[in-house]
Structure 1
């Protein structure tokens, strides 16, 4: 039976970056198309219907974040944003618009492919999100709202459960502060980032082996949080 190749669109105006990304993805058996501008990327996206988009934010004819909504409407691809060290606000904006993850330049092959795999897993999961998460220690049934840690009820508050539900549902994806506030507690307009930090700390105390060195619920400084299942 023939193998179905995943399709990737690289959007970056730096030729060296495109060459590096292309060679990396081709080695992983992706079909790859490149674009240098927003206009080229839109045209390529319509034709290719990519499974993965690697998107630089700084493009010669505009801000790369302009493309995120249109890509999602086209084919719901996994979207990995490329950013510079000083682009924290733009990373947050991209994630809030629907990007799956970001990677900060410079980066190596191993980190890049790890981020790609996480983003692709998240997209597959969201197409048919599993109702149950179980790593042998933490058990979460999203349908029945059951949580067990080592077989015991951790006595989560409604806010803590709301956070855990969203983090597990989007496992591997960075969720921004705004995304968590809006999705975990949609009816609480008074909740803010400081309150979020407090509840994340309490959640870690109940689900992490060592809350002072969290493994499951990690912090993306200045951006938000990520749930990372044990490998």
Structure 2
């Protein structure tokens, strides 16, 4: 979800206003995804590199996260949406981490759809952690090193209980993955759009899904 800051700058608004508009866009896209029958929607909300941003902006983002959880949790639960977190949200302030844990626990049994939110997430760090876990298991004799395969790596990732990634969308005209779901994106369709995230709405998602439906996926075959 890229372009909040540039969206705000283009309107002479503070970056915080862009993040607030981005949260509203997330609400619209989640609703449209549910209506379209999407099984899992993953949103990259805060990367492990975002800690380099000014503290005031980080504080604004944390405040927005508190507000979003507080205002949307009942709706998520009522609509049967399970909340899943990718990354290490324990690095956030204790009250934020606690709110996240409570939201995950409350929605754990929901099955209509999964909303996965990447918080303090980086794909390289995820892969390092998975590799370390498998190395520890091999050293302990729980698994033979030569027996480690793709399925075991999949099971060690944050996304272990999520369906395979089909479509990755990046907004705002950037044409790179920026350390997001690098392993999972191996056979995903990639879609880069010029729209800033706050302007990406239900219609934009439906257009993206239509574009995805028109692609032929061969996975190396003919």
The interval holding the TM-score normalised by the smaller chain is under 0.3
Identify, as 1 or 2, the structure richer in helix: 2
Q: Which has the higher contact order (CA 8 A, sep 6+)?
A: 2
Relative to the length of structure 1, the TM-score reads 0.27
